[in-house]
Amino acid sequence: MPNYTVTIATGNQWFAGTDDYVYITLVGSEKCSERTLLDKPLYNDFERGAVDSYDVRVGEDLGDIVLVKIEKKKYWMQDDWYCRYVTVKTPDGDYVEFPCFRWLVDDKEVVLRDGRAFLPQDDKTSLVKQHRQKELDTRRKTIRWKEWQPGIPMSIDSNKHRDLPRDIQFDSEKGVDFILNYSKAIENLCVNRFMHMFQSSWSDFGDFEKIFVRIKNTISEYVMQHWKEDFMFGYQFLNGCNPVLIRKCTKLPDTFPVTHEMVSVSLEREMTLEQEMEAGNLYIVDFEILEGISANCTDPQTVQYLAAPICLLYKGVQNKILPIAIQLGQNPDKNPIFLPTDGQYDWLLAKIWVRSADFQYHQNVTHLLRTHLITEVFAIAMFRQLPAVHPVFKLLIPHIRFTIAINTKAREQLICEHGIFDKANATGGGGHVQLIQKATKDLTFRSLCFPDAIKSRGVDSEEDLPTYFYRDDGYKVWDATKSFVSDVVSIYYNSDERVREDEEIQAFVKDACSFGMQDFDHCEFPKSLKSLDELIEYLTVVIFTASAQHAAVNFGQYDWCSWIPNAPSTMRKPPPQEKGLANVNTIIETLPDRGRSSWHLGAVWALSQYQENELYLGMYPDEHFIEKPVKAAMEKFRKKLSEITGFIKGRNEGKKLPYYNMSPDKIPNSVAV
């Protein structure tokens, strides 16, 4: 009588084990085994982290094992179980691996295919074709599109984290409770005595130190010491939290009438302003998108303000980027142009207003829209259109891990009406939605392609901007990621025709465009892929956005935003429309009060923390792929990433302002915080 040995691995997550009844059925190419009970309740099998083996005896040879069915039946109470994988040893001594990496909930069965990846056109038997389609049909019933707000990318149809399918929830909901985490952060930072002190201003700049936590050798302390200086202001547009806005200025906007006479004292070469522009030495950051956005009015006792400034930057002979002109609104008739030659506090207040505008843009557009929400679009489309056996599903699944969960939790607690975001941010109370809606109109697929985004802003030249480390490190990580994607997909697609014939991959990109991006005319997301090169670029965008780009704009938040005057989350006085009126008191009364400062500090601290047991770029402990060529590609990828990390560490040695936000050893695989 043929004997099969079945080995099952249980996950290491909390509560991953089960005391329920577990049954297995082996489906072969010739025959199907009887449903076999593997474990009786309370026998201590299927415990957290356990690997258990069982014999399954059958009457005759089953042929090649094609599918494995696992069922969990309730013993006493519902007891979810996380199965990592199943390995079947055949009577001939061969081993067949069946990756699972899924939760078994209620009394439903899970049907697994072996670990080899197959394109839909390569499945020949009706058995595997039906399994493939049934898996997608089941997923589409629970993973549905929903419009969270009109005019922005679509989200998951779920109002609460606990209502999500178990497989896309966090392992523990406690770890991602924003209210709990922010409160813990405020307590750990010893600022809880200030968190309810709304409307209470600080006494002076030094007073902000009462909530500033010094950690030796951190960027944040350097920022605190140098935040007033022009070089620090300019440097942040290159390597701060929001290094995506600075662009070469080839023509001044009509709304920004800067003249040579205004800025001549700031120019270091014997050239006119026009000549400096033609030489490529002028850069601009324009926050026009903030014009007309409603400021937070959720607290009737505190009027809050937003501005839409324009800032002209100059590259001096030492290659430092310095501000030389700032206008705090889009209408030049109502907004004077502030200059470094103005009074000390006029110029400082103008720079603070730009920093506050940059903070709003960063939080809502650079971070939330262009990493979190976009990655969720790709994740939902993937789950709906690609079965687990598809090589692209196996490639992408580590990079969308927990993204739908963190976004759902954010919509539940953080960016919802009366959410945490309303407490301390000038774009709270609905302004954030307006801003994301406006920014979505500028969001194109090409703007997600890192090299294209850099080039479109005219900042691709290393000679012009030798200290733009975000760009330089980003190029390296983009190229390494693209090479890895190419190595993997080329194993399964050996021609452009193979890409065009893949109905599932075509459905994936169409779903992302037609539903995820709601077919917005301006977005230019592809609805189909016609070549292998297009597929490689598309998947590189998905992985890079979810990993490197998110890391670059997320994990430096405490470094750059914990010193409140350098990144005010709100402003309590309107932007000045006259010169000569600013002093220390007016600036302090404009900056966030003690309560909002404390909530802001807790937020940037919590958002900057890596998860426990974080999986960084190139780490793939869940073996969705079993093919040796793919594992070789992963090893090559890790080696290249290690080289990049080594280069960045060497460059950072001895620097007072090291840049490490694009270092692969600090880039998590996915958007999960």
Kindly list the averaged pLDDT for each block of 10 residues, start to end, along the chain of length 673: 89 78 92 83 72 89 94 80 94 95 88 97 96 97 97 97 93 63 60 57 72 66 94 98 98 98 97 98 98 94 96 97 98 97 98 98 98 98 98 98 95 88 92 97 97 98 97 98 98 98 98 94 92 98 98 96 94 96 94 85 84 91 97 98 98 94 98 91
Q: Which domains does the chain have, with CATH numbers?
A: 3-115 (2.60.60.20), 139-244+362-672 (1.20.245.10)
Sequence letter at residue 428: G
Contact (Cβ atoms closer than 8 angstroms) between residue 623 and residue 116 = no
Contact (Cβ atoms closer than 8 angstroms) between residue 314 and residue 530 = no
Sequence letter at residue 376: E
H or E, element range at 377: helix 374-385
- CA separation for the pair 376, 262 (Å, rounded): 47
Specify burial of residue 137 (Cβ count, 10 A radius: 0-12, 13-18, 19+). exposed
**DSSP state for residue 369 in the 8-state scheme:** I
List residues forming the annotated binding site: 17, 39, 79-80, 367, 372, 550
Cα–Cα distances (Å) from 479 to 475, 476, 491, 520, 529, in that order, read: 6, 5, 19, 29, 21
Residue 403 has which token pair?
A: 């993204």
- CA separation for the pair 187, 329 (Å, rounded): 38
- CA separation for the pair 589, 572 (Å, rounded): 7
List residues forming the annotated binding site for Ca(2+): 17, 39, 79-80
- CA separation for the pair 144, 154 (Å, rounded): 10
Contact (Cβ atoms closer than 8 angstroms) between residue 505 and residue 466 = no
Return the closest-CA partner of residue 332 out of 262, 281, 266, 250.
262
Three-state secondary structure call for residue 42: coil
What is the longest distance spanned by two Cα atoms in the chain? 96
Q: Where are the beta strands (DSSP E) in 517-612?
A: none
Q: What is the tally of helices (H) and strands (E) in the chain?
A: 22, 15
Query: What integer pLDDT is reported at residue 570 of this predicted model?
Result: 96
Cα–Cα distances (Å) from 417 to 151, 294, 303, 313, 411, in that order, read: 18, 14, 18, 37, 9
Give the residues across from 283 on adjacent strands: 248, 313
- CA separation for the pair 123, 384 (Å, rounded): 19
- CA separation for the pair 671, 407 (Å, rounded): 9
Cα–Cα distances (Å) from 295 to 242, 422, 432, 571, in that order, read: 21, 10, 9, 10
Query: What integer pLDDT is reported at residue 456 of this predicted model?
Result: 98
- Residues 180, 183, 189, 192, Cα dihedral to 10°: -160
- CA separation for the pair 365, 241 (Å, rounded): 12
Whole-prediction pTM? 0.95
- CA separation for the pair 49, 44 (Å, rounded): 12
Contact (Cβ atoms closer than 8 angstroms) between residue 131 and residue 67 = yes
Residue 492 has which token pair?
A: 């399964």
Residue 606 has which token pair?
A: 């919590």
Query: What integer pLDDT is reported at residue 189 of this predicted model?
Result: 54
* Helices within 569-621 (DSSP H only): 584-590, 594-607
Three-point CA angle 368, 373, 374, nearest 5°? 115
- CA separation for the pair 471, 450 (Å, rounded): 9
Contact (Cβ atoms closer than 8 angstroms) between residue 448 and residue 454 = no
Residue 198 has which token pair?
A: 């709304």
Query: What integer pLDDT is reported at residue 198 of this predicted model?
Result: 54
Query: What integer pLDDT is reported at residue 210 of this predicted model?
Result: 66
Query: What integer pLDDT is reported at residue 186 of this predicted model?
Result: 58
Sequence letter at residue 227: W
Residue with tokens 């992302």: 512
Sequence letter at residue 212: F
Contact (Cβ atoms closer than 8 angstroms) between residue 435 and residue 290 = yes
**Other beta carbons less than 10 A from residue 92's beta carbon:** 7
Contact (Cβ atoms closer than 8 angstroms) between residue 188 and residue 609 = no
**Cα 14 to the center of its chain, rounded Å:** 25
- CA separation for the pair 107, 113 (Å, rounded): 20
Phi/psi at 7 (5° precision): -115, 130
Three-state secondary structure call for residue 280: coil
- Residues 353, 358, 364, 370, Cα dihedral to 10°: 170
- CA separation for the pair 128, 584 (Å, rounded): 72
Q: How many CA atoms lie within 13 A of 68 on its CB side?
A: 27
List residues forming the annotated binding site for Fe cation: 367, 372, 550
Specify burial of residue 25 (Cβ count, 10 A radius: 0-12, 13-18, 19+). middle
